[in-house]
Structure 1
Amino acid sequence: MELQNLEAFCVVYEEGSISKAAKKLFMSQQGLSKAIIKLEKEFSKPLFTRSNKGVVPTDYARALYPKASRLSAILNSIEDDSSLPEREELHIAATSGFLMSVGLEFINEFERDHSTIELRLEECSDQRVAEQVDSGSAEVGFMAGPIDYEKYRGELFLRLRHVAVISERDTLARKESLTWKDLDDEAIALMSRSHAPYDLILSQMLKEGAAPKRLIETSEGYLGFDLASKNQAICISTDLHASKWARGDVRIIPIYDDYYSWDVSLITCRREKPGNAAQSFIDYALQWIKQHRNERFTWEHTVDCP
């Protein structure tokens, strides 16, 4: 619905005449009539009937007018208020599952304290995060490691422990912890190769002499959790994601790895200095995670984060 048409309805209602309303709105009578007809089609109700003295509002129009008048006034006040500050849009690219990890309040708290900045956060693969930060279409990214520090400035944001989500019917579910070697010749569900940890996990398995019997690449973690609950695969995930979203008769077992954890870093491109909005967000994000890490992102087997 166009605001201009709603305003036209209100003026016709107040003037009781198409011709008088057209003059007041500096419109042709034909153009004004078309606007009213368009509104009537949108509402699927007639708004006026013609009389010798002009137009008469229908019962529906009489009920509509107070609401339309109030809405029109509110929208006009917003458009006309030059005191409202312009909002700057800040584009952020984040690895899949990021927003579910930190929660919507992470965004809401920032925008509440920074009213002139509007965040546009897009979740995608780590590969896509890198592409967007490289191209400048996103000023800030959240990407799983490894990070190329020659290309990016990076600040560690989350450090997570790898875990295996296993059906309780699987014999491995009896173990208190696992190594990659334990997963030799098993069906493994893993986030796809467009996500950074994919190659590292497979290379660590090979270093320890393990290879999947079957490798199932997923675009998101839910499929892996579902396969684990059905005893069709072992899902490799993180302590954070598994503790929140794994369901069914499964066990979440830590995988102890001396070489690396599942790290998510806040990155910016080294070629460009962050703008004011980006720097405000970076400062906020690093302070926010420092305050919330222990209360929201720590489990029995979570890796300490400096």
Structure 2
Amino acid sequence: MIPPLQSIISRLHVKQLRLLVALGEHGSLLKASQQVALTQPGASKALQEIETTFGTPLFVRTNRGLEPNAVGHCVIRYAHLIQTDLAHLREEIVGVLRGQGGRVAAGVIMGAVPLLTNAVSVLVGRQPDLSVEIVEDTSAALLAQIDAGRLDLAICRTSITQAPQVYDSVRLQEETLAVIANVGHPLRRAKKVTLHELAPYRWVMYRANMPMRVLLEGEFRNCGIRFPQHLLETTSAFATLALLQANPSFVALVSIEVAQFFAHHEMSCILPLALTSQSEPYELVTRKGAPAQPAAKLLIDELLSRRS
């Protein structure tokens, strides 16, 4: 039986986490003990204490050394995360003590990537010591990371959650959508295209229930056209671009900012399809009532200055 959380917290030490990471890297108690400056008997005792703390074996003893079992892999992964968080904590403290710099973790949905990266570029130009982590994902995944304290802020949408009231959100910018394709697409030189013309092509888009996908489904429904059955689904801007590059017949629905970025660099073209539906705006989302640390406040202020 796994012990209660408070029992684990009270018994687990940072040096034990370092030992777990070292064991995951080396699979050898001797090499791991040397890495964390313990004697081999001391490392063996520490491992026994760790396994007692979690109430279950974490490694399988083989003639090749120690191999983590399923629970061991899980614990090692979280040990890595805790070490990384401590490194980020130190980095942020250094920035605060210097009166500048620090670290901020920001999430963003695909369509708003240019909005965030432009703000970050300006901000780090003013604050060279600032470190920024950018996580691109769906709104649902980003809100989950805000809940877990992994992100300081996110540009996404709270409409996808059943509890939007648990977040502080500010409307940032309206989203305009565009259809893009390979620069060699058969319709690249058309002055105007219709959804009837594009329907037979293979579409790259977000998965079901995402706002952008729901909007496109509505467009097909309003035109009396059957929605494509065989889709290529991704939340990644790079995967979208790679798919368009791989096949000149593919088309994708993205934000106009992403479309213009790709077109400007001649990586794709924008097809002249007029959409009738209005997309949901981007929101700047933070944890409800949570005070923004200095580095996050700088990025929030920069984003708010770009509101339209």
Give the TM-score normalised by structure 2: 0.52
| 2:262 paired residue number | 245
Name which of structure 1's ranges 156-165 and 189-198 shifts more when overlaid on structure 2.
189-198
| 1:130 paired residue number | 143
SS in 2 for 1:132: helix
1:260 pairs, out of 278, 281, 290, with: 278
8 Å CA contact retained: 1:186, 1:213: no
Q: Distance in 1 between matches of 2:125 and 2:237?
A: 31
Q: Distance in 2 between matches of 1:219 and 1:256?
A: 23
Distance change >3 Å, CA 232–CA 279, structure 1 → 2: same
SS in 2 for 1:235: strand
Q: Distance in 2 between matches of 1:242 and 1:150?
A: 32
| 1:139 paired residue number | 152
Q: Distance in 1 between matches of 2:206 and 2:252?
A: 9
Q: Distance in 2 between matches of 1:182 and 1:150?
A: 42
Do structure 1's residue 95 and structure 2's residue 95 form an aligned pair? no
- CA RMSD in angstroms comes to 4.0
Q: CA deviation at 1:151?
A: 4.0
| Residue-by-residue CA offset, 1:167-193 (whole Å, 9 max, x unaligned) | 576564454344545433432111345
| 2:170 paired residue number | 155
Q: CA deviation at 1:212?
A: 1.4
Structure whose residues are more often strand by fraction: 1
8 Å CA contact retained: 2:168, 2:289: no
Structure 2: tracts of 5 or more residues without a match: 1-36, 38-93
Q: Distance in 2 between matches of 1:146 and 1:182?
A: 32
8 Å CA contact retained: 1:160, 1:238: yes
| 1:235 paired residue number | 252
Distance change >3 Å, CA 274–CA 198, structure 1 → 2: farther
SS in 2 for 1:150: helix
SS in 2 for 1:214: coil
Q: What residue identity is the alignment partner of 2:123?
A: F
Q: Distance in 1 between matches of 2:146 and 2:252?
A: 30
8 Å CA contact retained: 2:244, 2:251: yes
Q: Distance in 2 between matches of 1:128 and 1:147?
A: 10
Q: What residue identity is the alignment partner of 1:186?
A: Y
Q: Distance in 1 between matches of 2:129 and 2:186?
A: 56
| 2:231 paired residue number | 215
8 Å CA contact retained: 1:154, 1:266: yes
| 2:299 paired residue number | 281
8 Å CA contact retained: 1:94, 1:123: yes
Give the TM-score normalised by structure 1: 0.53
Distance change >3 Å, CA 260–CA 147, structure 1 → 2: farther
Q: Distance in 2 between matches of 1:161 and 1:262?
A: 9
Q: What residue identity is the alignment partner of 1:152?
A: Y
Aligned length: 209
| Residue-by-residue CA offset, 1:103-137 (whole Å, 9 max, x unaligned) | 4x632543565688654332333221111123333
8 Å CA contact retained: 2:142, 2:154: yes
| Residue-by-residue CA offset, 1:135-158 (whole Å, 9 max, x unaligned) | 333231111575665343333334
Of all paired residues, the percent bearing the same amino acid is 14
8 Å CA contact retained: 2:114, 2:257: no
| Residue-by-residue CA offset, 1:242-268 (whole Å, 9 max, x unaligned) | 222257796412432333136332112
Q: CA deviation at 1:233?
A: 1.7
Q: Distance in 1 between matches of 2:269 and 2:103?
A: 43
